[in-house]
Amino acid sequence: MSKSLPLQPNLEHLKKQAKALLKAHQQSQPEVISRIKEHHPRLSNSSGSDILREEFSLQDAQLVIAREYGFESWPKLAEVVVMYKDLPFPTREFFQAQTDEEEPSGKLSKDVLRALENMHDEFGKLLNATLPPFLGGKVSAVTAYLDQATYREYIQYQKSRSDSGYGCIFTPAPLEGRAAVDCSRGLIAALLDHSSEKLELNQEDWTALDAICQRLWKDLRQAWSLVLPTEIEGTRLDSNPPSLEIAAPSDLVVVIGVQVSKPEWWITFCYPNALVKQAHSQLEEQQQIWSQM
C-alpha cells in the first residue's frame, strides 16, 4: 500500500529520504531489504542477501522512494511535487473545503525553517544512538519533511492518517507556549514489541513507553540546546493526538516529520509559529553557523 505525500511535498526532503535509503543499503541494514524488494523491479525476485550485495545507486534509491509514494518513477514524483509547490494549501486533497477566512500572516523566514530542520536532523542523529536497544538493530532517523500550515489543517491531516499513534504536549522552556509530538502506531508497536494491528496498551506498556519517551525528551532537549539552553517540560502522553490543543485553529504552525528507518515509523512535531518566533534570533544565528559548516 502506497503512503501519502506530506502536507506540502518538498523535493529536497524527498531527496534526503533517498540519500538515507542509499546510506542504509551501504551499511547493509536489513530493514531496507523489504522496501527495495517490494518497490524496485530489478530486485523484486532477489534474496535479501543478494539485495544487500547488489550495486545500488542514488537513482535506485530515488526509484524506491517514488514507488513507495505510488509513482512509477522519480521524474513522475518530482513533476507532481513541482506542480504542488505553488498551489495554496486548501487545494491539497486533505483540505478541499474552502473558507472565507483570510490567509494567515506571520510565516517564518527561510533561515528559521532551515535552522529548525537542521536542529531536528541533530535530533535524528541522537535517535540513531538511543533507539537501537529498543528496536533491535541499527537506526536511521532523518528529517523527511517540514511544512507550514494552519493548526486546523494540521489537525485535519492528523485525523486523516491511519497510522497516527500516541502523542503528547510539551514546552521547550524557557519558551512560552506548547508544542505537540506524535509517534506513529508502527513505531510505538516496534518500541514495545507489539503488533501495530492491535495496539492496545496496558499499564505495563504505558510505564515502558514513558521510560522510552524520557530518553527521547533528553535527545530533544539536547538538540534544542544547540540553539538555546532548553528544558522539555509538561510532557504527558495521549492516545488521541488530534485531540491535543496547542493553538487556535487559524494559527500558523510548523510541522516537522522525522522518519525512523521504515516508511511507517514516524515522529511528527508541531510547533506554533508564535512559540518559534520567541527563539527567532537564536535560530537565525545558529543557522549562520550551520551554513558555514
Q: Is 129 helix (H, G, I), strand (E, B) or coil?
A: helix
8 Å CB contact between 131 and 201: no
User: Which residue segments constitute the domains of the chain, with CATH numbers given?
Assistant: 1-87 (no CATH), 108-291 (3.40.1550.10)
Q: What is the pLDDT along the chain (293 residues), one digit of tens a residue?
A: 556 666 667 888 899 999 999 999 999 998 899 999 999 999 999 999 999 999 999 999 999 999 988 888 898 888 777 766 544 443 344 433 333 343 445 788 889 999 999 999 999 999 999 999 999 888 989 888 888 888 988 888 877 776 667 888 888 999 999 999 988 888 988 898 876 556 678 888 888 888 898 999 999 999 999 999 988 877 666 666 666 789 999 899 999 989 898 877 889 999 999 999 999 999 999 998 988 87
- In 194-251, the DSSP E strands lie at 231-238
Q: How far apart are CA 48 and CA 210, in angstroms?
A: 35
- In 21-96, the DSSP E strands lie at none
Strand order in the sheet with 166-173: 141-150, 252-260, 266-272, 179-183, 166-173, 231-238
8 Å CB contact between 51 and 36: yes
8 Å CB contact between 60 and 39: no
Residue 283: φ, ψ to 5°? -65, -45
